[in-house]
């Protein structure tokens, strides 16, 4: 499960209607960090294709930044051992290409493979197995 995916998740149980942030990552068994697709984009022998990759990644991060739940992203990244994200994002930082490339990497290349998510409102736990979150609710949780 990518950190971008985690950032938009919400517990839809009837008792969790006040949940405005994603379930917390409360247990981490396995994490995968993929190579950044732009790490090889710095090579000059690719005919400029690497520049396009970097440009797309930077633009993606720039456009998704305003809708991110930043505090939740910080907590999730910290739970996975990533502590390099800033506490807040200034307008200058939001335009910095290096920061946007790093943000893209955190959002798209860091995966919780096995672990547990826990809703802060209801305490319900959602297991993550092979990168897939089981957010199935019991019938009584939907009423």
pLDDT attached to residue 129:
98
CB atoms within 10 A of CB 66: 9
Residue-level pLDDT, tens digit, the chain, 143 residues:
999 999 999 998 888 888 889 999 999 999 999 987 655 445 445 556 778 999 999 999 999 999 999 999 999 999 999 999 999 999 999 999 999 999 999 999 999 999 999 999 999 999 999 999 999 998 888 87
Helix (H, G, I), strand (E, B) or coil at 30: strand
CB atoms within 10 A of CB 123: 9
Q: How far, in whole angstroms, is CA 41 from its chain's centroid?
A: 22
pLDDT attached to residue 38:
55
Total of domains in the chain:
1
* Cβ within 8 Å of residue 29, ≥6 positions away: 113, 114, 115
Task: Give the separation between CA 104 and CA 27, rounded to whole angstroms.
Answer: 24
Query: Domain limits at 63?
Result: 3-141
Q: Identify the CATH number of the domain in which residue 16 sits.
A: 2.20.25.10
Indicate the pTM of the whole model.
0.86
């Amino acid at each position: 499960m990518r950190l971008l995916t985690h950032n938009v998740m919400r517990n839809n149980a009837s008792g969790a209607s006040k949940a405005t942030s994603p379930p917390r990552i409360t247990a981490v068994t396995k994490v995968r960090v993929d190579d950044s697709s732009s790490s090889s984009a710095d090579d000059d022998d690719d005919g400029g294709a690497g520049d396009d990759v970097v440009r797309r990644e930077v633009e993606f991060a720039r456009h998704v930044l305003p809708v991110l739940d930043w505090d939740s992203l910080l907590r999730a990244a910290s739970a996975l051992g990533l502590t390099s994200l800033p506490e807040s994002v200034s307008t200058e930082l939001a335009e910095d290409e290096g920061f946007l490339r790093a943000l893209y990497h955190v959002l798209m290349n860091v995966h919780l493979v096995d672990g547990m998510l826990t809703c802060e409102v209801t305490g319900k736990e959602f297991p993550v197995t092979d990168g897939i979150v089981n957010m199935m609710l019991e019938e009584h949780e939907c009423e």
